[in-house]
Structure 1
Amino acid sequence: MKLKSIYLTVLFLSLFILNVNAQKGWINLFNGKDLKDWNIKIAKHDYKENYANTFRVENGVMKVSYDGYKEFDQQYGHIFYKKPFSAYLLKVTYRFIGEQAKGGEGWATRNSGAMLHCQDPATMLKNQDFPISIEGQILGGDGEHERHTSNVCTPGTLINYNGKLFTPHCLDSKSKTYAGDQWVTAEFLVLGDSVIKHIIEGEVVLEYTKPQIGGGNVSNFDPKVKIDGKPLTSGYISLQSESHPIEFKTVQLYDLEAYMKDKAKLDKVLAKILKE
């Protein structure tokens, strides 16, 4: 009986250690099968209503589609991962496909985004267009003109750029243009309210600091949520539906919060995972 008890204890500890180690690795936010870990908020619709099956899983990818829309009608949508994060590396592999939905804005052609440090989607009002957040803007080229991807836009937020408060809505990265339906991998290094870096093909294409609530470019929000000047230390992650069909093949995250108080360990972990 005693040996059995020892065996069970060792087994439990082994499983616990394996689980802890697994949590330190990459987390697949999107499991390639379903959307059970995600919550949807589409403008003009109730929280968790997946209007016209906008967000779906087909052939192992998360697909944003508008085949059920008669008109886009500014029904901007976001699909949120179920829990917030503070410090992390987010990796998103995406591609634009097909034609823009009827009634979509001109600027929204081949346009989507990975929204960082989002407000809790449960606090968004029915007609709110975008979550208060920092947007890692994803853009596709048209085959003729230069159009950078992995830019930053600021719905209801502000950032510091080159040591100064940046108040315009969007800031371009220095990435190259990606046209056609090729898969592109964008990474976003988010370290609380200190620094955010946008990375494409291993190169930092944009870097800024001190994200905070403030500014405009968000409509129909609850004033109690928009506390201007409040640092954005954490938040939810969401992906956009802005009227152009897009597919997400992978959405992965490496949680870095445990390393935030030890710069040497953080740098070591980052050096390793940025090569993966």
Structure 2
Amino acid sequence: MKLYYVILLLIILSSTSVFAQKSLFNGKDLKGWHVDVPAMDSKPDTVNPFVVRNGMLVSLGTPGGHLITDKIYKNYQLTVQYRFAGKPGNCGVLVHSSTPRVLYGMFPKSLEVQMQHKDAGDFWCIEEDITVPDMVSRRGPKENWGVNGDKLRRIKNLTDDSEKPVGEWNTMIIQCLNNEVKVWVNGALVNYGTNCTASSGQIALQAEGSEVEFKQLDLKPIKALSKS
């Protein structure tokens, strides 16, 4: 009888886990997302840099802008599978995104998790901030830290050798729990910060000069998990 209840509990837990995880991309269209591309303000016929192609979500890179979730999320694990379609370049995933266009008339208030080739996992502070170990060595002189303009907004990751060769798929996992953010690239912990000035917000993908393909954007609530 005890074995029966153990098996039943495992089935329930398994079902709950599967049910809790969902994809932010349905493989068909951009439902659940909206585009914020400044160039479209004056020229509505401007090419949308975010398209669906062969079942993948693609950031064409130009014109510059963001694809932003309609919903706000808190305490989650986001799994992203991506690759640069041609030559390596720049892109990013923005978490805790809120007010649009607060930086340079394009970037929303957020914490960027960098995807730029060889820099995957860097943090970029965009009107939000975060604390990491060895902050001075990874960010620069404290008197120059800041979250806008020409301040030191970049926080270097822990390793630059976690990415796969261009053309191969990378898996990035971003875990946001309360005011902590952890990032893994292909299984390696590449960044970890605490005391983030935001703990919830929208999720955004960038169009920032390079074509990037996404085939997985899965989100799973983790507020019931331990911080350890």
Question: TM > 0.5 between the two?
Answer: yes
Give the conservation status (yes or no) of the 8 Å contact 1:115–1:133.
yes
Give the conservation status (yes or no) of the 8 Å contact 1:40–1:50.
no
Change (3 A) 1:50 1:170: farther
**1:247 counterpart (205, 210, 213):** 213
Q: 2:94 & 2:221 partners in 1: Cα distance?
A: 16
**1:80 counterpart (68, 71, 74):** 68
Q: Partner amino acid for 1:96?
A: F
Aligned identity (percent) is 27
Give the conservation status (yes or no) of the 8 Å contact 2:78–2:219.
yes
Give the equivalent residue in structure 2 for 1:136.
Answer: 113
Q: 2:56 & 2:37 partners in 1: Cα distance?
A: 20
Give the equivalent residue in structure 1 for 2:81.
Answer: 93
Q: Partner amino acid for 1:189?
A: Q
Using CA pairs under 8 Å that are at least 6 residues apart, name the structure with larger relative contact order, 1 or 2.
Answer: 2
Give the conservation status (yes or no) of the 8 Å contact 1:90–1:254.
yes
Q: 2:38 & 2:202 partners in 1: Cα distance?
A: 17
May I ask how many residue pairs the two structures share in their alignment?
199
Q: 1:50 & 1:239 partners in 2: Cα distance?
A: 21
TM-score normalised per structure 1: 0.64
Tell me the CA shift for residue 50 of structure 1. Answer: 8.3
Q: 2:135 & 2:19 partners in 1: Cα distance?
A: 35
Tell me the CA shift for residue 211 of structure 1. Answer: 1.6
**1:210 counterpart (159, 183, 195):** 195
Tell me the CA shift for residue 171 of structure 1. Answer: 1.7
The DSSP-based 3-state class of the residue aligned with 2:40 is coil
Give the equivalent residue in structure 1 for 2:27.
Answer: 32
Bigger radius of gyration among the two: 1
Tell me the CA shift for residue 31 of structure 1. Answer: 0.9
Cα deviations across residues 206-247 of structure 1 (Å, max 9, x unaligned)? 1011122xxxxxxxxxxxxxxxxxxx1210001000011111
The yes-or-no answer on 1:52 pairing with 2:47 is yes
Give the equivalent residue in structure 2 for 1:102.
Answer: none
Q: 1:246 & 1:206 partners in 2: Cα distance?
A: 22
Tell me the CA shift for residue 79 of structure 1. Answer: 0.4
Q: 1:241 & 1:62 partners in 2: Cα distance?
A: 12
Q: 2:188 & 2:55 partners in 1: Cα distance?
A: 28
Give the equivalent residue in structure 2 for 1:171.
Answer: 155
Cα deviations across residues 89-121 of structure 1 (Å, max 9, x unaligned)? 01110011235xxxxxxxxx6110010000055
The DSSP-based 3-state class of the residue aligned with 2:36 is strand
**2:204 counterpart (235, 238, 262):** 238
Q: Partner amino acid for 1:196?
A: V
**What's the C-alpha RMSD, in Å, of the aligned pairs?**
2.9
TM-score normalised per structure 2: 0.77
Tell me the CA shift for residue 175 of structure 1. Answer: 4.0
Specify every segment of 5 or more residues in structure 2 that has no aligned partner in the other structure, as ranges: 1-11, 140-144, 146-151
Change (3 A) 1:138 1:21: same
Give the equivalent residue in structure 1 for 2:4.
Answer: none
Change (3 A) 1:59 1:50: farther
Q: How does 1:236-275 map to 2 (within 5 A)?
A: 236-257=202-223, 259=224, 266-267=225-226
Give the conservation status (yes or no) of the 8 Å contact 1:149–1:178.
no
Q: How does 1:86-235 map to 2 (within 5 A)?
A: 86-98=74-86, 110-121=89-100, 124=101, 128-140=105-117, 147-162=118-133, 167=145, 168-173=152-157, 174-176=159-161, 177-193=163-179, 195-212=180-197, 232-235=198-201
Q: Partner amino acid for 2:49?
A: T
Q: Partner amino acid for 1:241?
A: A
The DSSP-based 3-state class of the residue aligned with 1:45 is helix
Tell me the CA shift for residue 52 of structure 1. Answer: 0.1
Specify every segment of 5 or more residues in structure 1 that has no aligned partner in the other structure, as ranges: 1-16, 67-71, 100-108, 141-146, 213-231, 260-265, 272-276
